[in-house]
Structure formats: structure tokens, C-alpha cells
């Protein structure tokens, strides 16, 4: 095989200019490639061989890259706090009395605008489609599920994650929450999210997901901003209370404006 490759190389003068790469910055593939591809690669110039990728390697590399990717929320300060956005395959929780729903809608808008299908499990039935569209959500790609109880919300989230939605946002609504989800259900949800590469964003008035979440953000309550007699917006401070891979304590400040003021 190597000899054949060398013969081929001698017969066809390969250009020395940069070879276009379909998928830039592919991560290394752990498992050994097929022997034939490996042998062919050895027979080639090192630089050219490094660019040679078999179909199975490519698919595995894409899967790996996809699992390591994040879904940006398009809120720069929050994305910076979360190292790029909501990590795929992980649970991120926002708890507190701040403007949680606005963060959820921003994340849904960012995901659907890139062509991803997303789901909003809206336990409090609080979503306004008109304002959602104004916020940038591509409503055609949004599945709106309106359970009445938290237990139904968890069951619905599990179904939706298993279908392959890349962003699933569960909004638990306002206190008092209707019903309770056992801890085991959050473990199941976290495992399902990991298995399907789904970013699961949970928004609740107080922490629900326990140890299953990758990160927990505290949404601090704040006063409204008024210009004269008109409400113009609300400032939100999101404090990182827990993160599995970095030190907590960071804070992201986001300013949300009412639709009429933008």
C-alpha cells in the first residue's frame, strides 16, 4: 500500500499550496483508524497525511466536537461567565427572583436563530409568543409545552430530550411551585441530556436540580428602571454559585429593556 502511495505521489505532483479543509480544527480521534487508511497515510508526505481523514473518523470527530460545543445565549456577559454559553449535554440552572424568563427567552432565540430546534417547557404558562418573536425566537423551531405541574414538566422534558432537541428550557414558574420532582428524576434528566447532547436549562425560583447541574446561577432581584413615568427595563445580576469546572463567584450583568423602549 505504501509503495502504491509513493508511486502515486511520484506520478501526480501534489500542489504545495494549502489544502482546503472542510472541517477546521478537528479534535484528535482516540480510537485507531482503519489499517488501510493508516497505511495509506504513512505512505504520504507528513503534511498531506495529516489532512487525510476517513469517513468514520470524520463522523466520530464531528460527534466529539458537537458534544464539546456550547450553545451561546447571545448575551455576551453570560456567555463569558459560562465559557461560551450553555454546554451541550449538561444541566444549567438559574434560580432566584431576578428576570429568569428573559434569560431563557434569549437562549431560545439564540438557538432557534442558528437553526436548532428548541423546546420550552413552560410550567407557569407564562410565555408570550408575540414578545418571543420580537425577542428573536424563530417560532417555527420552538416547541411550546405547557404542563400544569412540575412532575408533568419533568416527564415532558425527558420525552423532548430523547427526541433530539438540542436546547430544552424548563421554566418552573413562580412560587409556590405546583408539585414536586423527586431527585431521581433530575438524575434521569441529566443522563438523558448527556446521552443526547442536549443543553438543559432549568429556571426556578429556588434551586431544584441539586447535584445534577453543571452550573447554578443565582438571579438577583432588582428594581425596575423608570424614565419619567415609563418602565424602560430591568438590570439582572447573574451570580455563579456553582460550577463543576471553575471557581464560583463570577457575576454577569445583563440589561433587559421593555419592547416599547427599544
Partner 1 sequence: MTRIACFSVPMFPLAARLRSEPDLLQEAVVIVDGNGNHAHVVAATRRARKKGIHPGLSLPQARSVLPKLIARGRDAACERTAQEALLEAAEMLSPRLEDAGDGVVFVDVTGTERHFATEEELGRSAIRAIEAVGLPARAGIAASKLAARIAAELPKTPTVVPPGEEMRFLAPLPLARLSPELEAAAMLERFGLKSIGDLARLPENEIASRLGEIGRQLHFAARGIDPRPLIPRPIPPAFREGMELEWPLVSLEPFLFIASAAFDRLRQRMESQGFSCTRIELNLTLEPDGYDARVLDLPAPTRDAKTILTLLRLDLEKRPPGAPVIGFTLVAHPDRPRRAQLSLFGPTALSPDKLATTIARLISMLGEERAGMPVTVDGHLPERHSLAPFSPPPPPDTRREPPRARGLLMPRLFRPPLPVDVTAEGNRIASIRGETIAGNVRVCSGPWHIEEGWWRDAPAEREYWDVELWEGGIYRVYRSEGEQEGKEWFVDARFGV
Q: Could you say whether residue 262 binds partner 1 (CB under 8 A)?
A: yes
With the CA atoms of 230, 234, 235 and 240 taken in that order, what torsion angle do they form, in degrees rounded to the nearest 10?
170
**Calpha distance 244→111 (Å, rounded):** 23
> How many residues lie near partner 1 (CB under 8 A)?
79
Residues 175-204: x where in contact with partner 1 by CB under 8 A, - otherwise, as a string: ------------------------------
Q: Which of 74, 194, 242, 250 binds partner 1 (CB under 8 A)?
A: 74
Q: Which of 53, 57, 73, 200 binds partner 1 (CB under 8 A)?
A: 73
Q: Could you say whether residue 27 binds partner 1 (CB under 8 A)?
A: no
Q: Which of 37, 44, 53, 72 binds partner 1 (CB under 8 A)?
A: 72
**Calpha distance 133→114 (Å, rounded):** 15
Q: Could you say whether residue 99 binds partner 1 (CB under 8 A)?
A: yes
Map the footprint of partner 1 across residues 207-246, applying CB under 8 A.
221-224, 226, 229-231, 233-234, 236
Q: Could you say whether residue 83 binds partner 1 (CB under 8 A)?
A: no
**Calpha distance 58→34 (Å, rounded):** 12
Kindly tell me the sign of the dihedral angle through the C-alpha atoms of 192, 96, 239, 117. Answer: positive
Kindly tell me the sign of the dihedral angle through the C-alpha atoms of 248, 106, 256, 230. Answer: negative
**CA of 94: how far to CAs of 25, 186, 192, in Å?**
32, 15, 19
Interface segment toward partner 1; rule CB under 8 A; list 25-33, 45-53, 147-155, 209-217 = 147-155
**CA of 241: how far to CAs of 62, 73, 81, in Å?**
32, 19, 11
Map the footprint of partner 1 across residues 125-144, applying CB under 8 A.
125-136, 139-144
Q: Could you say whether residue 254 binds partner 1 (CB under 8 A)?
A: yes
Pick between residue 16 and residue 25 the one whose CB is nearest to partner 1. 25
Map the footprint of partner 1 across residues 148-177, applying CB under 8 A.
148, 152, 155-156, 159-160, 162-166, 173-174
Pick between residue 39 and residue 237 the one whose CB is nearest to partner 1. 237
**Calpha distance 178→190 (Å, rounded):** 21
Compute the least distance from the CB of residue 154 to partner 1, in Å.
Answer: 11
If you search the block for the grid coordinates 424602560, which residue do you land on? 232
Q: Which of 16, 22, 32, 184 binds partner 1 (CB under 8 A)?
A: 22
Q: Name the residue among 255, 247, 238 with its Cα closest to residue 93.
A: 238
Pick between residue 54 and residue 114 the one whose CB is nearest to partner 1. 114
Kindly tell me the sign of the dihedral angle through the C-alpha atoms of 36, 40, 43, 46. Answer: negative
Amino acid at each position: 500500500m505504501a509503495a502504491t502511495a509513493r508511486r502515486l505521489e511520484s506520478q501526480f505532483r501534489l500542489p504545495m499550496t494549502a489544502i482546503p479543509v472542510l472541517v477546521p480544527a478537528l479534535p484528535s480521534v482516540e480510537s485507531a483508524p482503519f489499517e488501510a487508511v493508516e497505511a495509506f497515510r504513512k505512505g504520504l508526505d507528513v503534511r498531506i497525511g495529516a489532512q487525510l481523514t476517513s469517513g468514520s473518523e470524520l463522523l466520530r470527530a464531528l460527534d466529539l466536537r458537537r458534544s464539546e460545543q456550547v450553545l451561546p445565549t447571545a448575551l455576551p456577559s453570560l456567555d463569558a461567565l459560562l465559557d461560551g454559553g450553555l454546554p451541550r449535554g449538561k444541566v444549567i440552572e438559574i434560580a432566584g427572583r431576578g428576570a429568569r424568563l428573559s434569560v431563557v427567552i434569549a437562549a431560545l432565540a439564540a438557538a432557534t436563530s442558528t437553526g436548532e430546534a428548541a423546546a420550552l417547557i413552560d410550567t407557569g404558562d407564562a410565555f408570550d409568543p408575540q414578545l418571543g418573536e420580537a425577542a428573536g425566537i424563530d417560532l417555527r423551531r420552538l416547541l411550546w409545552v405547557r404542563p400544569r405541574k412540575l412532575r408533568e414538566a419533568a416527564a415532558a422534558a425527558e420525552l423532548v430530550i430523547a427526541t433530539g432537541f438540542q436546547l430544552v428550557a424548563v421554566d418552573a414558574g413562580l412560587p409556590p411551585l405546583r408539585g414536586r420532582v423527586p431527585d431521581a428524576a433530575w438524575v434521569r434528566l441529566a443522563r438523558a441530556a448527556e446521552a443526547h447532547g442536549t443543553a438543559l436549562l432549568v429556571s426556578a425560583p429556588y434551586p431544584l436540580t441539586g447535584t445534577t447541574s453543571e452550573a447554578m446561577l443565582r438571579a438577583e432581584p432588582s428594581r425596575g428602571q423608570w424614565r419619567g413615568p415609563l418602565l424602560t427595563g430591568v438590570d439582572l445580576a447573574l451570580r455563579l454559585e456553582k460550577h463543576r469546572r471553575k471557581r464560583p463567584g463570577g457575576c454577569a450583568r445583563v440589561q433587559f429593556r421593555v419592547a416599547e423602549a427599544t
